[in-house]
C-alpha cells in the first residue's frame, strides 16, 4: 500500500495543474498561481514521501514528469500568452503577421515556454547524471518565475512596473531567457537534504533562510530575485 502514497501525491500535483489551466485560460492568473504553488508543493512532497517510505518506481518517475508538464509547463505558457495579449491591448502592439483582433500571433510566442519545458522534462528523464544536482533551471522554478509576473502586477503594481511587465519586448526577452535557462548546461544544486546536519546542507539552509527573508520583505517581487540568487549561488558553489 505504501508504494502508492508518492504516486497519489503526484496525482494531486497534476490535479492542481489542471485547475490552474482552467483559471489561466479564464485569465484569472492569481487563482492559477495559487494552484501552481500547491502543485509545486505536492511535487516536493511526493519525492520526500518516496525517500521517507523508501519506495521508488519507474512509473513514479514518469508520472512525476507528466504532472510537472501540466503544472509547470502548460500553465506558464498560458500565463505568458495572457501577459503578451495584455501587452498588445496596452498599446504595445506588434502585429508580426498583419493579423488583427482580440488575439494576434504575438501571444502564441509564450508557448515556447511550454515547448522548452517538455524538452527539458524528457531530457531529465533520460539523463542519469541529474540526481544530486540539475542541469538547467527546473520547470517548477521556471513556473514560479513566470507566475510571479501577474502577481506583481495585481498586488505590487505601480506605473514603472506596469510599463516594464506589460512591455512586449520585455516579455519576449523573458520568454527566450526562460527557454534558454530550462535547457542550458548550467549546473544547479538540488534542494535534497542529506540528513539534517548543517555541514552537509549549509548552502541549502542559507539559501532557504535568505529566500524567506526576501519573501517577507519584498513579497512577490522577491520571486525573480530568488531565482536569480539560486542561479548565482549554484555558479559560485561550482566555481568554489
If phi over 0 gives left and psi between -120 and 50 gives alpha, with beta otherwise, what is residue 93?
Answer: beta
- Per the CB < 8 A criterion, the answer to whether 147 and 33 are in contact is yes
Give the mean pLDDT of 83-103: 64
Q: What is the CATH number of the domain that holds 163?
A: 1.20.120
- Per the CB < 8 A criterion, the answer to whether 117 and 76 are in contact is yes
- In tens, the pLDDT along 39-59 reads 999 999 988 888 778 787 888
Claim: this prediction has a pTM higher than 0.75: yes
Instruction: Find all residues with CB under 8 Å of 156, minimum gap 6, and list them.
Output: 219, 220, 221
- In tens, the pLDDT along 173-205 reads 999 999 999 999 999 988 765 555 556 667 778
Q: Total structural domains in the chain?
A: 1
- Per the CB < 8 A criterion, the answer to whether 142 and 117 are in contact is yes
- Domain of 169 in residue numbering reads as 2-239
Q: How far apart are CA 70 and CA 76, in angstroms?
A: 9
Amino acid at each position: 500500500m505504501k508504494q502508492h502514497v508518492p504516486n497519489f501525491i503526484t496525482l494531486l500535483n497534476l490535479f492542481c495543474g489542471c485547475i490552474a489551466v482552467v483559471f489561466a485560460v479564464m485569465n484569472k492568473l492569481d487563482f492559477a498561481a495559487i494552484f501552481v504553488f500547491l502543485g509545486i508543493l505536492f511535487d516536493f512532497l511526493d519525492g520526500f514521501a518516496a525517500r521517507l517510505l523508501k519506495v521508488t518506481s519507474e512509473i513514479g518517475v514518469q508520472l512525476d514528469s507528466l504532472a510537472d508538464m501540466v503544472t509547470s509547463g502548460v500553465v506558464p505558457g498560458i500565463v505568458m500568452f495572457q501577459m503578451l495579449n495584455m501587452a498588445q491591448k496596452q498599446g504595445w502592439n506588434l502585429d508580426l503577421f498583419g493579423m488583427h483582433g482580440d488575439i494576434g500571433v504575438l501571444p502564441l510566442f509564450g508557448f515556447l515556454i511550454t515547448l522548452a519545458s517538455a524538452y527539458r522534462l524528457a531530457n531529465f528523464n533520460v539523463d542519469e547524471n541529474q540526481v544530486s544536482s540539475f542541469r538547467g533551471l527546473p520547470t517548477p522554478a521556471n513556473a514560479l518565475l513566470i507566475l510571479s509576473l501577474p502577481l506583481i502586477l495585481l498586488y505590487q503594481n505601480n506605473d514603472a512596473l506596469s510599463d516594464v511587465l506589460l512591455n512586449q519586448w520585455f516579455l519576449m526577452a523573458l520568454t527566450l531567457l526562460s527557454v534558454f535557462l530550462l535547457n542550458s548546461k548550467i549546473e544547479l544544486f538540488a534542494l535534497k537534504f542529506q540528513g539534517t546536519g548543517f555541514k552537509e546542507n549549509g548552502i541549502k539552509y542559507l539559501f532557504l533562510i535568505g529566500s524567506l527573508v526576501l519573501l517577507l520583505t519584498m513579497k512577490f517581487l522577491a520571486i525573480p530575485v530568488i531565482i536569480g540568487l539560486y542561479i548565482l549561488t549554484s555558479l559560485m558553489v561550482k566555481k568554489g
